Amino acid sequence: MTGESRHADGERAAASSPDGPTLSVRDLQVHFPITSGFLIRRQTGAVKAVDGVTFDIAPGETLGLVGESGSGKTTTGRAILQLQRPTAGSVEFRGVELTSISAKKMRPFRSEMQIIFQDPYGSLNPRMSAGRIIGEPLTVHGLGGDQDQRLERVAELLKRVGMNPAMMGRYPHEFSGGQRQRIGIARALAGAPSFIVCDEPVSALDVSIQAQILNLLSDLQTEFNISYLFIAHDLSVVRHISDRVAVMYLGKIMEMATSVELYENPMHPYTRALMSAVPIPDPALERQRERIVLAGDIPSPINPPSGCVFRTRCPIATDECGEVLPDLVDHGGGHQVACIKV
């Protein structure tokens, strides 16, 4: 393992599987340069989209990544897949360091590590039939065999995601949102992945369809022992699907714990506020719940607050919070919190 291991202690519980974690992310940073100047462009600053993120994901495990818009969830996912080169830090996939690998050496990992997007429409080529969309990764990664075998495999994948193989010849616009998401999932499955970044996979779907897709993702995970990084801003969805959850704010992980522990015993003031803001479909319960209303917006990542990045909205912040950068500290059982007040 390269890179910093300041936070590594709390990770052991997750990494305890005999073969080690599927994915190990250490102190990951992605900074986007901000340039200005008319003729001569100079870097005048940086957007710290991801700023020191550390976690492991075990085989067959789902790590949920929640946080408000702009907190760096998508960038984290893209940096893991090397779709975005990290500024610093390490990403190990099954023991292989990916951040320093050549594009050629990366190729075999491209089929093993997949991504499912929020907008299934935007991510499917409108001029390709469903069959070609799903079959393409087979061709690209040389997994498909001959034409007939490939068609058979596509039909099998369509059936597996709950669709009629006869729909193979149809184009994306002829499908509903839920069906398009199923096609996106089938395409991801074609590469026989062991890890999938699910980036808001159900956020654009209606509730009744959302449940179908969430169930499908759970079933596929059980069947193929796939690890998921499940990105969403909906905490209820994340709690439902995840084994562990990491809460992000301005590029940093504020708290991470098993899903049950996090929801029963949230320790970070941001997690507490976030959870109290999520309404539960139960009027009687809602009348009794505590409501913590945060003031203001998430600050700009170009110029984040000093010390703890959450302190400008934090109900319990003191002067000290502006001076000390809180470490992610283990409070037992892998429950990690980055707050000097807990």
Ligand X SMILES: Nc1ncnc2c1ncn2[C@@H]1O[C@H](COP(=O)(O)OP(=O)(O)OP(=O)(O)O)[C@@H](O)[C@H]1O
| Distance in angstroms (rounded) separating the CA atoms of residues 155 and 168 | 8
* Residue 208 in the binding site for ligand X (CB under 6 A): no
Classified as helix, coil or strand, 224 is: helix
**CB neighbours of residue 189 within 10 Å:** 22
Using the rule CB under 6 A, which residue among 28, 47, 154, 202 binds ligand X?
47
* Residue 203 in the binding site for other proteins (CB under 8 A): no
Strands 227-231 and 195-199: parallel
From other proteins, ligand X, Mg ion, none, interface partner of 236 (C-beta below 5 to 8 A by class): other proteins
| Distance in angstroms (rounded) separating the CA atoms of residues 90 and 287 | 46
* Residue 277 in the binding site for other proteins (CB under 8 A): yes
Site string for ligand X, 71-90 (x = CB under 6 A): xxxxx---------------
> Which residue, 198 or 267, is less far from Mg ion as judged by CB?
198
Site string for other proteins, 123-162 (x = CB under 8 A): ----------------------------------------
Alpha carbon 262 to chain centroid, angstroms: 17
Helix pair 130-140, 147-160: axis angle to 10 deg: 120
Classified as helix, coil or strand, 210 is: helix
Question: What dihedral angle (degrees, nearest 10) is formed by the CA atoms of 136, 140, 144, 147?
Answer: 60
Using the rule CB under 8 A, which residue among 9, 206, 223, 320 binds other proteins?
206
* Residue 111 in the binding site for Mg ion (CB under 5 A): no
* Residue 218 in the binding site for other proteins (CB under 8 A): yes
Site size toward Mg ion, by CB under 5 A: 1
CB of 139 to other proteins, least distance (A): 31
Classified as helix, coil or strand, 43 is: strand
| Distance in angstroms (rounded) separating the CA atoms of residues 266 and 284 | 22
Residues 42-101 binding Mg ion (CB under 5 A) are: 74
Using the rule CB under 6 A, which residue among 25, 28, 49, 168 binds ligand X?
49
Residue found by looking up tokens 């702009």 in the block? 70
> Which residue, 199 or 261, is less far from ligand X as judged by CB?
199
* Residue 233 in the binding site for ligand X (CB under 6 A): yes
* Residue 286 in the binding site for other proteins (CB under 8 A): yes
| Distance in angstroms (rounded) separating the CA atoms of residues 52 and 251 | 8
Q: Identify residue 335 by its one-letter amino acid code.
A: H
How far apart are the two ends of the chain, measured CA to CA in Å? 30
DSSP assignment string, 46-64: EEEEEEEEEEEE-TT-EEE
CB of 333 to ligand X, least distance (A): 27
* Residue 235 in the binding site for other proteins (CB under 8 A): yes
Contact residues for other proteins, defined by CB under 8 A: 68-69, 176, 178-179, 206-212, 214-215, 218, 233, 235-237, 239-241, 259, 263, 273-286, 291, 293-298
Contact residues for Mg ion, defined by CB under 5 A: 74
